[in-house]
């Protein structure tokens, strides 16, 4: 009797097992073929899978207390914070002291000019914006994600951009900004000498601001990166380049004051640092950048305690201007920097 029961049980188990083997693949196929069934199967078979869960709703952030009349975002290309702190940059140092500052903000991987500025101006991670190349390659087509400047312009906010490198024009396609200035692209420029230096960029920005007073302005100084690639991070030439950048900052700030603009916010940051003659690797020398907020609504003399990353720049400006970044933005407003 026992042996008969055992045989029946073995047969039943074998049959059940065979049925399972047969039924599993069609059920799996149903998951991909039929959308309504898929969530049920996933929910019962793998209830703890984080990938199957919808993203949590974003926590509402209180609107800013002071809304700046003008925002000037200045990117000091390739400026490593420890080198900037050691360089003769009295204006930048004063703004860092008087404003809300961190010397340990983080770039994105890879810490290269075009990918990093893309994250800075969109709030997107590289895996979402997809810009891993560091040259403007027309064959790759126009930039396809909304930048802070596109959103601002669509929202009726006046905008302008002044870049020392032609490749950043990739992020400002036609119609996305009221005015842009950059060196004419030169495909034969393999040495990377086709730049507008900081003083020239600052002069262009100052002249434009005097007439048009844009509400949102992007300014890019290439000098420290240029000196780094030719002479090193750090080098005497790079320290000299940073003195030039500080003079350009002083010139721009004075020009904006002369234009009688009030309630101006400055954000000073960089796309990446560097070491030796290069950058682009996930290491502190390349990844660490400064992030300084100074002016309208800024909590003065404050050393930021929360970690700031490059995409937070776009999120902060979007928050201040009441713009909405795409849902997949990883940037968070640095509201700690404001009163
Ligand atoms: Zn760069």
Quick: pLDDT tens for 2-36: 444 443 333 333 333 333 333 323 333 333 333 33
- Indicate whether 297 belongs to any domain: yes
pLDDT tens digit sequence for 200-221: 999 999 999 999 999 999 999 9
- Indicate whether 317 belongs to any domain: yes
Give the separation between CA 56 and CA 140, rounded to whole angstroms: 34
Give the separation between CA 97 and CA 200, rounded to whole angstroms: 27
pLDDT value of residue 14? 38
* Alpha-carbon 176 to chain mean position: 17
pLDDT value of residue 297? 97
Q: Say which residue the tokens 């019962």 belong to.
A: 44
Question: How many A from CA of 242 to the centre of ligand 1?
Answer: 14
Which residues are within 8 A (CB) of 285 and not within 5 positions of it... i.e. 6 or more apart? 80, 233, 273, 274, 275, 279
Provide the pLDDT confidence category of residue 57 given band limits of 50, 70 and 90. low
Question: How many A from CA of 127 to the centre of ligand 1?
Answer: 19
- Indicate whether 271 belongs to any domain: yes
What is the chain's mean pLDDT, rounded? 86
Question: How many A from CA of 75 to the centre of ligand 1?
Answer: 9
- Indicate whether 287 belongs to any domain: yes
Question: How many A from CA of 318 to the centre of ligand 1?
Answer: 23
- Indicate whether 23 belongs to any domain: no
Q: Does a cis peptide bond (omega within 30 degrees of 0) precede residue 110?
A: yes
CB-CB contact of 95 with 294 (8 Å)? yes
Q: Three-state SS string across 266-325, please?
A: EEEECCCCCEECECCCCCHHHHEEEEEEEECCECCCEECCCCCECHHHHHHHHHHHCCCC
Question: How many A from CA of 213 to the centre of ligand 1?
Answer: 27
- Indicate whether 77 belongs to any domain: yes
Tell me the CATH number at 251: 3.40.720.10
The total domain count for the chain is: 1
Least confident of 24-38, 287-301, 302-316: 24-38
Question: How many A from CA of 238 to the centre of ligand 1?
Answer: 14
Instruction: Find residue 291's DSSP bridge partners.
Output: 102, 269
pLDDT value of residue 49? 44
pLDDT tens digit sequence for 176-195: 999 999 999 887 887 778 99
Question: How many A from CA of 95 to the centre of ligand 1?
Answer: 22
Question: How many A from CA of 8 to the centre of ligand 1?
Answer: 74
- Indicate whether 6 belongs to any domain: no
CB-CB contact of 111 with 118 (8 Å)? no
Question: How many A from CA of 194 to the centre of ligand 1?
Answer: 14
Question: How many A from CA of 225 to the centre of ligand 1?
Answer: 6
Question: How many A from CA of 164 to the centre of ligand 1?
Answer: 11
Provide the pLDDT confidence category of residue 51 given band limits of 50, 70 and 90. low
Question: How many A from CA of 134 to the centre of ligand 1?
Answer: 9
Provide the pLDDT confidence category of residue 53 given band limits of 50, 70 and 90. low
Question: How many A from CA of 309 to the centre of ligand 1?
Answer: 16
Per the structure, the complete domain to which residue 254 belongs is given by 70-337
Question: How many A from CA of 112 to the centre of ligand 1?
Answer: 6
Q: Is 291 helix (H, G, I), strand (E, B) or coil?
A: strand
- Indicate whether 56 belongs to any domain: no
Nearest-5° Cα angle at 248, 246 to 252: 115
pLDDT value of residue 331? 98
User: Which sign does the torsion angle of CA 260, 265, 271, 272 carry?
Assistant: positive
Question: How many A from CA of 116 to the centre of ligand 1?
Answer: 8
């Amino acid at each position: 009797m026992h042996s008969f029961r055992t045989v029946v049980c073995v047969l039943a188990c074998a049959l059940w097992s065979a049925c399972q083997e047969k039924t599993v693949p069609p059920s799996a196929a149903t998951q991909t073929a039929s959308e309504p069934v898929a969530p049920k199967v996933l929910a019962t078979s793998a209830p703890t899978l984080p990938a199957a869960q919808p993203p949590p709703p974003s926590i509402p952030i209180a609107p800013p207390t002071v809304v700046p009349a003008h925002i000037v975002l200045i990117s000091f290309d390739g400026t490593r914070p420890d080198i900037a702190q050691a360089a003769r940059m009295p204006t930048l140092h004063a703004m860092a002291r008087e404003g809300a500052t961190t010397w340990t903000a983080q770039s994105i991987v890879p810490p290269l000019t075009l990918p990093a500025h893309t994250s800075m101006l969109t709030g997107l991670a590289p895996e979402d914006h997809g810009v891993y190349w560091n040259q403007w390659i027309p064959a790759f087509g126009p930039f396809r994600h909304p930048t802070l400047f596109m959103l601002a312009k669509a929202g009726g906010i006046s905008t302008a951009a002044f870049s020392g490198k032609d490749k950043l024009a990739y992020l400002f396609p036609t119609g996305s900004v009221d005015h842009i200035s950059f060196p004419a692209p030169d495909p034969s420029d393999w040495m990377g000498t086709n730049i507008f230096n900081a003083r020239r960029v600052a002069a262009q920005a100052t002249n434009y601001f005097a007439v048009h007073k844009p509400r949102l302005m992007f300014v890019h100084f290439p000098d420290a990166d240029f000196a780094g690639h030719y002479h090193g991070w750090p080098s005497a030439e790079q320290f000299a380049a940073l003195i030039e950048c500080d003079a350009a900052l002083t010139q721009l700030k004075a020009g904006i004051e002369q234009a009688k603009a009030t309630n101006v916010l400055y954000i000073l940051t960089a796309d990446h640092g560097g070491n030796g003659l290069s950058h682009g690797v996930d290491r502190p020398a390349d990844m660490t950048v400064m992030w300084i907020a100074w002016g309208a609504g800024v909590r003065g003399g404050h050393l930021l305690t929360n970690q700031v990353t490059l995409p937070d720049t776009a999120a902060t400006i979007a928050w201040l201007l009441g713009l909405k970044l795409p849902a997949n933005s990883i940037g968070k407003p640095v509201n700690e920097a404001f009163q």
